[in-house]
Amino acid sequence: MKTIKLLFVAVLAFTSLSVFAQTKTDSFKVYGNCGMCQKRIEKAVKLEGVSAAAWDVDSKIMTITYDQSKVTLDDIQKKIAAVGHDTDKFRAEDKVYDKLPGCCLYDRKKTDKEEDHSKHKH
């Protein structure tokens, strides 16, 4: 009987720990071209609270598992932008992007102010 109580307490403790750990897995687009990009992007997200990160060169999709109580998805994407790679939510600074090796210079989406407005009727 004592063993059953001990087992029950252990299971309850484990269950309550997993409830408090707010682990979540998300995927989002990160722009880049090659294996060098992959290393740079994955290194950028080695943060406290991130338990797994993988960026797929072909699909441009980052899949990340993290503890929401320690780091936010915005924080993670900002770290990626800080090393020169745009996400759908954050754009890398031009001066950082421009310093990437030639093979890593991906086609960037234009911002609203960069779009050509000459075709619009005024």
Per-domain residue ranges for the chain? 23-104
Q: What is the pTM of this model?
A: 0.75
**60-88 residues labelled b (16+ CB within 10 A) or e (exposed):** bebebebeeeebeeeebbebbbebbbbbe
For 45-86, what is each residue's pLDDT tens digit?
999 999 999 999 999 999 999 999 999 999 999 999 999 999
**What residues does 28 pair with on adjacent strands?**
62
- Dist CA 44 CA 84 (whole Å): 10
**Fold for the domain defined by 23-104:** Alpha-Beta Plaits (3.30.70)
Spatial separation of the C-alpha atoms in residues 86 and 28, rounded to whole Å: 11
